[in-house]
């Protein structure tokens, strides 16, 4: 079994991901002093290397590092919890073989835990759960296990139970070895193993029985041992749990307190015991020579190279490209091919990363994560040995939902802003920028207010660009609600040959997807060479709808008839005919405006519940439900994004700063008539003033 683990640490905000990573690095001797996330020493956690991360106490960019534990090398990526930086989680999970899902023993399965779990499902990443903060008042790890089963449909089973809870947390009972483990010394460095205290023995025996029952499904040998009432060896039990975990049919649950240094060494043991090595993961690439047929990669270093560039970073030494090797090995001076553009690359400097520090290495092998300097590529590119035409599947990139206009204060800022935008759009596929044709303003788009706020602040700090920001605006979109026919003739006579093209067909609403074009023309009424021009003409109309000038989505266009002229027809004529046909039918198809609806979860002290619900209702929110977690109430609502600007300030003042909320994109929904009128008035005013 290959002694390498590629793991990610993912969770809801403030569940303790970065604190856990810090402890892991300390206990594996990668760092020699523990720094806290909001450290009084002003240093901040090792993995939060950006100034903004240290100030805010949040993770913004995923950071990679590696360490050794009991002869296993563990590559770790610490990911952000804020949904605004969800692309960082996506790209980490795309290249990882396993993950630790960190849950708070008080908060349990929260909104972002659900999002992270969906991302793990998308990339089929096996995970183990770590229930953190068992020292907190109101801690109840067994309630969290029930939530894992009910909310996330995990077959979650405890492999440990705590010795005491809240302020009485003393240690951990390992249900595999059936021993009590204590963590002595200032930082819990000294592990003491003893017999299980009498007060906890009955509970431990009951939970061990549950564990054996759950694991026996994955091992005939274990089932036999249970039936015959033989003694169950640790090795047999670990193998069964491991098999269930790798198949994503079992989620082993470990417990402790990262902040109090209790249970971290056992988390590392669980990573080695239960999470897969790169050789045990079914990684597939698409064979471009065989119609994108998926083929399994061996994971062996002897086979030809296949690697994925999953993240780019512009640093002081140039572009740093993070790569994961799925097959083969990469040495300094090697040549490989970028499959996307067919260009040959010469590998210069290869490094292994530790947060913002790096270590030069001669080579990296299959199963490892490293980084390259001086390679021209984009995120998602596949590198292979010459002669291989394979491509790794790309990651899911969500569409931005919020925009902001920005402008520089002076010429120097303009140059620096352009440099910053060039870098940020290359590094982060969810951060986009364009220049508005109407106003000439530079518009940036992203996943939320915090996302854009962080990038504007980084422009100011890292690029010394003085930026003036406009009002945030919402990514509205138009769609149609009924099927409508069109029959349009484009006819234009100039001095020489004219332009002629007739297109007939219909447009109809599309339940899923943005745009579908279907050609049902028979008998050559529109010559085959002009069909792509028809599609191009229709596609050109989608970026800006003829009604409210927002992008048009959810539309299917079918052409079934037309006419051409032997002299006057051309691609240009049929493009123009398609645009005319679109405009002819669009208003008859009863267009509507849609707005992004966000899933909002507010965690507030119970005494403010009424006020919070009232504030969400005022913002056109629909309350989905609420439930109490100790002294806290968790309220889930669906609220239009346009109503959520500035909500953090309102919520803070309403709850004396004691509440917090998370927000993520849910769906698009039709804008009510009263709101539509307000948007129309705002757009009219904008057009009149030219701003």
pLDDT over 80 (residue 45): no
> Is residue 690, in this structure, part of any structural domain at all?
no
Average pLDDT over residues 573-587: 94
Look at the block and give the residue holding tokens 């056992």: 266
**110 in a structural domain:** yes
454 and 527 share a domain?
no
**372 and 290, same structural domain?**
yes
What is the predicted pLDDT for the residue at 292? 80
CA distances (Å), origin 200, targets 133, 137, 204: 20, 20, 6
**DSSP state, residue 262:** B
Instruction: Determine the pLDDT at residue 84.
Output: 61
Helix or strand or coil: residue 207? helix
- The pLDDT assigned to 62 comes to 54
Give dist(CA 265, CA 191) in Å, integer: 9
Judged against a pLDDT cut of 50, whether residue 236 lies above it is answered with yes
Instruction: Indicate the pLDDT class of residue 251, thresholds 50, 70 and 90.
Output: very high
Give me the pLDDT at residue 252, please.
Answer: 95
CA dihedral for 318, 322, 326, 329, sign (positive or negative): positive
Is residue 44 very low, low, confident or very high in pLDDT (cuts 50, 70, 90)? very low
Mean per-residue pLDDT over the chain, rounded: 84
- What's the CA gap between 311 and 192, in Å, rounded? 41
Same domain, 465 and 486: no
CA atoms of 209 and 688, how far apart (whole Å): 74
Position 680 in a domain: no
Indicate the number of domains in the chain.
5
Average pLDDT of the residues in 241-250: 93
Instruction: Verify that 197 and 258 share a domain, yes or no.
Output: yes
Provide the percentage of residues in the chain whose pLDDT is more than 70.
90
Q: What is the dihedral of CA 581, 582, 585, 591, to 10 degrees?
A: 180
Q: List the alpha helices (DSSP H) in 387-494.
A: 411-427, 449-463
- DSSP state letter for 526: S
101: helix, strand or coil: strand
* CA 297 to chain centroid: 24
If pLDDT is split at 50, 70 and 90, which confidence band does 49 have? Answer: very low
Residue burial 316-326, b: 16+ Cβ < 10 Å; e: rest? eeebbbbbbbb
Cα–Cα distance measured from residue 96 to residue 77, given in angstroms and rounded to the nearest whole number: 9
| Together in a domain, 49 and 17 | yes
What pLDDT does residue 42 have?
Answer: 41
Better-scored residue on pLDDT, 674 or 503: 503
What pLDDT band is residue 40 in, cutting at 50, 70 and 90?
A: very low
Instruction: Using the predicted structure, report yes or no on whether residue 100 has a pLDDT greater than 80.
Output: yes
Q: What's the CATH code of the domain at 339? A: 2.40.30.10
How many whole angstroms from its chain centre is CA 16?
18
Residue 684 lies in a domain: no
Asked if 290 and 266 sit in the same domain, the reply is no
Of the candidates 400, 423, 317, which has an alpha carbon nearest to the alpha carbon of residue 360?
Answer: 317
pLDDT of residue 354: 67
User: For the chain, what is the radius of gyration of the CA atoms?
Assistant: 29
685 located within any domain: no
DSSP 399: P
pLDDT at residue 266, rounded to an integer:
92
CATH number at residue 111: 3.40.50.300
288 confidence band (pLDDT: 50, 70, 90): confident
Q: Cβ(602)–Cβ(651) under 8 Å?
A: yes
- Tell me: do 385 and 258 sit in the same domain: no
How much of the chain, in percent, has pLDDT values that exceed 90? 29
Query: Is the confidence at residue 185, as pLDDT, over 90?
Result: no
Which string of DSSP letters, residue by residue, matches 277-333? PGGGS--EEEEGGGTTEEEE----TTSPPEEEEEEEEEETTEEEEEEEEEESEEETT
Residue 681: pLDDT band (50, 70, 90) is confident
Is residue 686 in some structural domain? no
Indicate which CATH number applies to the domain containing 458. 3.30.70.870
Query: Is the per-residue pLDDT at 35 higher than 80?
Result: no
What pLDDT sits at residue 114?
Answer: 79
Q: In this structure, are 332 and 441 located in the same domain?
A: no
Rounded distance between C-alpha atoms, residue 542 and residue 37, angstroms: 46
337 and 372 in a single domain? The answer is yes
- Higher model confidence: residue 322 or residue 91? 322
Mean pLDDT, residues 212-232:
88
> pLDDT, tens digit, for every residue of 106-127?
888 877 777 788 888 888 889 9
**Residue 54 confidence (pLDDT) above 60:** no
Task: State pLDDT tens for residues 393-438.
Answer: 766 677 787 888 888 888 888 899 998 898 888 778 888 898 877 6
Same domain, 608 and 641: yes
- What is the Cα–Cα distance from 505 to 519, expressed in whole angstroms? 9
pLDDT at 12 over 80: no
Q: What's the chain's length in residues?
A: 691
CATH code, 543: 3.30.230.10
Q: 48 pLDDT exceeds 50?
A: no
CA distance 632 to 609: 9
Q: Which pLDDT band, with edges at 50, 70 and 90, does 675 fall under? A: confident
Residue 397 falls within a domain, yes or no?
A: no
Q: Which among 232, 259, 280 is the end of a domain? A: 280
**In the prediction, which pLDDT does 14 show?**
72
Packed helices 198-216 and 220-227: angle between N→C axes, nearest 10 degrees:
130
DSSP 226-246: HHTTPPPPHHHHHHHHHHHHH
Q: Are both 28 and 148 inside the same structural domain?
A: yes
pLDDT at 41 over 50: no
* Within-domain flag for 687: no
pLDDT of 55 strictly over 70: no
Do 257 and 115 share a domain, yes or no?
Answer: yes
* Residue pLDDT, tens place only, 355-390: 567 788 888 888 888 888 878 787 778 898 888 888
Mean pLDDT on 72-94: 71
User: Residue 663: which CATH number?
Assistant: 3.30.70.240
| Structural domain containing residue 619 | 594-675
- Does the pLDDT of residue 188 top 70, yes or no? yes
End position of a domain, from candidates 252, 280, 308: 280
Write down which residue in 555, 589, 623 finishes a domain: 589
């Amino acid at each position: 079994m290959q002694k390498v683990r590629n793991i990610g640490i993912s969770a809801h905000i403030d569940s303790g991901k970065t604190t856990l990573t810090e402890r892991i690095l300390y206990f594996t001797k990668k760092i020699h002093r523990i720094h806290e996330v909001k450290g009084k020493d002003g240093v901040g956690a090792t993995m939060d290397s950006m100034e903004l991360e240290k100030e805010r106490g949040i993770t913004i960019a995923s950071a990679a590092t590696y360490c050794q534990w009991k002869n296993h090398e563990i590559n770790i990526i610490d990911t952000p919890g804020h949904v605004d930086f969800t692309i960082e989680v996506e790209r980490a999970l795309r290249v990882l073989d396993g993950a630790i899902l960190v849950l708070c023993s008080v908060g349990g399965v929260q909104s972002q835990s659900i999002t992270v779990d969906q991302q793990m499902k998308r990339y089929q990443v096996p995970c183990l759960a770590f229930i953190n903060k068992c020292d907190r008042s109101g801690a109840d790890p067994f309630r969290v296990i029930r939530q894992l089963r009910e909310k996330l449909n995990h077959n979650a089973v405890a492999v440990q139970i705590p010795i005491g809870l809240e302020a009485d947390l003393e240690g951990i009972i390992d249900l595999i070895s059936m021993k009590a483990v204590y963590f002595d010394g200032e930082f819990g460095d000294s592990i003491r193993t003893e017999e299980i205290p009498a007060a906890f023995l009955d509970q431990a025996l009951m939970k061990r029985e549950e564990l054996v029952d759950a694991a026996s499904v994955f091992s005939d040998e274990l089932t036999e041992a249970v039936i015959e009432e033989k003694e169950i060896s640790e090795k047999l039990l670990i193998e069964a749990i491991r098999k269930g975990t790798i198949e994503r049919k079992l989620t082993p649950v470990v417990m402790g307190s990262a902040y109090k240094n209790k249970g971290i060494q056992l988390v590392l043991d669980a990573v080695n015991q239960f999470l897969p090595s790169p050789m045990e993961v079914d990684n597939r690439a698409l064979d471009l020579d065989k119609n994108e047929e998926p083929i399994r990669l061996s994971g062996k270093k002897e086979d030809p190279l296949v690697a994925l560039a999953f993240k780019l970073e512009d640093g002081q030494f140039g572009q740093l490209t993070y790569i994961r090797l799925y097959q083969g090995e990469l040495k300094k001076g090697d040549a490989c091919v970028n499959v996307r553009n067919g260009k040959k690359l010469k590998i210069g400097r290869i490094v292994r990363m530790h947060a913002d520090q790096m270590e030069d290495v001669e080579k990296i092998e299959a199963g490892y994560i490293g980084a390259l300097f001086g390679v021209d590529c984009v995120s998602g590119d596949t590198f292979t040995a010459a002669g291989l035409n394979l491509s790794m599947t790309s990651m899911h990139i969500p569409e931005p939902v919020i925009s902001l206009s920005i402008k520089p204060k002076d010429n120097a800022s303009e140059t620096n802003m352009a440099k910053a935008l060039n870098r940020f759009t290359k590094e982060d596929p969810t951060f986009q920028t364009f220049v508005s044709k109407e106003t000439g303003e530079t518009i940036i788009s992203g996943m939320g207010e915090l996302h854009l706020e962080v990038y504007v602040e980084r422009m100011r700090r890292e690029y010394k660009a003085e930026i003036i920001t406009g009002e945030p605006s919402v990514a509205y979109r138009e769609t149609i609600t009924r099927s409508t026919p069109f029959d349009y003739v484009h006819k234009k006579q100039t001095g020489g040959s004219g332009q002629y093209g007739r297109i007939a067909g219909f447009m109809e609403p599309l339940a899923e997807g943005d745009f579908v074009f279907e050609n049902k023309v028979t008998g050559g009424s529109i010559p085959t060479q002009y069909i792509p021009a028809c599609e191009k003409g229709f596609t050109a109309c989608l970026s800006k709808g003829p009604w409210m000038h927002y992008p048009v989505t959810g539309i299917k266009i079918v052409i079934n008839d037309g006419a051409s002229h032997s002299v006057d027809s051309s691609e240009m004529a049929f493009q123009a005919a398609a645009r005319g046909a679109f405009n002819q039918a669009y208003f008859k198809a009863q267009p509507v405006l849609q707005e992004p609806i966000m899933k909002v979860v507010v965690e507030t002290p119970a005494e403010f519940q009424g006020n919070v619900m009232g504030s969400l209702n005022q913002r056109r929110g629909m309350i989905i439900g609420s439930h109490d977690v100790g002294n806290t109430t968790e309220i889930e609502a669906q609220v239009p994004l346009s109503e959520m600007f500035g909500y953090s300030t309102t919520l803070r003042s309403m709850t004396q700063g004691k509440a917090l909320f998370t927000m993520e994109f849910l769906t698009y929904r039709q804008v009510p008539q009263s709101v539509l009128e307000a948007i129309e008035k705002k757009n009219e005013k904008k057009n009149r003033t030219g701003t």
